Structure 1
Amino acid sequence: MSDPAPHRADRPDRADRADLGKDPSQVSGMFDEVAPAYDRTNAVLSVGNDARWRIATTRAVAPVAGERILDLAAGTGTSSVALARSGAEVVAADFSPGMIAEGRRRHGGIPNVTFVEADATDLPFADAEFDAATISFGLRNVNDPRKALREMLRVVRPGGRLVVCEFSHPPARLVASAYRLYSDRVLPLVARAVSSNAAAYDYLNESIRAWPDQRTLAAWIRESGWTQVAHRDLTFGIVALHRARRPA
């Protein structure tokens, strides 16, 4: 994979931030820009909760040695490495070449993690190729999330697992108000201090507000063909962890 800088130079449509139209080239270009400092920025903006959410997601996936797992929207591969510690073969897929390049630079020496550039709505994998698929904080950035859910269903074997970790809507009004205050007032200031592209985190706020609540996302998953759909809130519902199975 070439360095992301030449790739960006060849993309005149790249923007410092995407909008809620979620044009794939704009979203991909935005993530190319933030790739080098992405994990550090997330840790700061989430006040360290990103590590807790990753642990909860890994436990929900429950990877086993010998399994093949798709980690979609894997970014720099931090979540993929956590899954790979079980001995499972993990495919870290992302549609940002910059993220994939950064992931290979950091984790390319791990033998059971493979980095692949992939569009969530048109996955370059065979039917029933994986034992499980997971996506963390990435489904919200796909321009057709229900199509992505159907694609994950296609590439997971019958009886296989789905885990989606995504920002959501706190059900308690007091928590929702405090979170909105943090997002509106504090997060932009912190993003300017620690991120290489603070404008991208304006999109973060907009995309979270426009994203459906827990029950609606659960309905989307069910309508896409998954069964045994369930979810639980993390951090008072700021994040929700959804689980499902492909029908056997």
Structure 2
Amino acid sequence: MTRATLDKQPHEVASMFDDVAANYDLTNDVLSLGQDRRWRKEVAKAVDARPGQKVLDLAAGTGTSSLPFARAGAYVVPCDFSLGMLREGKKRHAWLPLTAGDATRLPFRDGVFDAVTISFGLRNVQDTGAALRELYRVTRPGGRVVICEFSHPTWAPFRTVYEEYLMRALPPVARAVSSNPDAYVYLAESIQSWPDQPSLARLLQEAGWSKVAWRNLTGGIVALHRGIKAA
């Protein structure tokens, strides 16, 4: 079993996700108390995929997050750097064009996608700015980005309770339901060290995105950031 460190070496993070691939979706459902399903519905609304559009779903894992875009009639490309996740996804969704790729060096041409999205994966990338620039590169002018990521609750008392859950309650729950509970200790630590909502918005702007905005979900446990590539 492996646990990634916060310097986010790609091989360590990929190996960690390889270990948890089989039970990843179920574990997330348990640890988030079912909230992850609501969060993904909000992502689908924000992406607003339409028939005939091309959507890149980065850090797609097993491809479960890509299903709403496919159901909307879009051509969706689930992309992830964990081969274990992709193999598990192939067992479940063999019809999806699951693609191996590094967020900082995407294997796609410039301006290919109408929308790009990444949920709960950006904080695991070693170079956040490089990933945001790559997403910008592969998006067509006028296209959009949607980022769903763990963030920081805005109400201080709630933030204290949440951080206690992350560091004290999450590890024993993870031991009960996950094949690699140490991986979820890393995930909790990576959430705590992640930039807050305004800081991520600034990173998006620095990467070239315009009309950047965000919306808090579940009191700021998760934030939904959006941006447009200027025409």
SS in 2 for 1:131: strand
2:107 equivalent in structure 1: 124
1:6 equivalent in structure 2: none
1:167 equivalent in structure 2: 150
Question: Structure 2 matches for 1:1-248, cutoff 5 A?
Answer: 16-109=2-95, 113-248=96-231
SS in 1 for 2:33: coil
Q: Which amino acid aligns with 2:117?
A: T
Q: Which runs of 5+ in 1 are unaligned?
A: 1-14
In 1: Cα distance, 2:34 partner to 2:214 partner? 22
Contact conserved, 2:167 with 2:185, CA < 8 A, in 1? no
SS in 1 for 2:181: coil
Q: CA deviation at 1:174?
A: 1.1
Q: CA deviation at 1:114?
A: 1.1
Deviations 1:148-192 (A, max 9, x none): 000000000000010000000001011101101111221111000
SS in 2 for 1:74: coil
Q: Which amino acid aligns with 2:135?
A: M
In 2: Cα distance, 1:45 partner to 1:133 partner? 26
TM-score norm. by structure 2 comes to: 0.99
Q: Which runs of 5+ in 2 are unaligned?
A: none
In 1: Cα distance, 2:161 partner to 2:174 partner? 18
Q: CA deviation at 1:104?
A: 1.0
Q: CA deviation at 1:83?
A: 1.4
In 2: Cα distance, 1:231 partner to 1:44 partner? 26
TM-score norm. by structure 1 comes to: 0.92
Deviations 1:12-66 (A, max 9, x none): xxx6110001000000000000000000000000000000000000000000010
1:4 equivalent in structure 2: none
4+ residue runs over 6 A deviation = none
Q: How many percent identity over aligned positions?
A: 57
SS in 2 for 1:242: strand
Deviations 1:182-219 (A, max 9, x none): 11221111000000000000101110111000000000
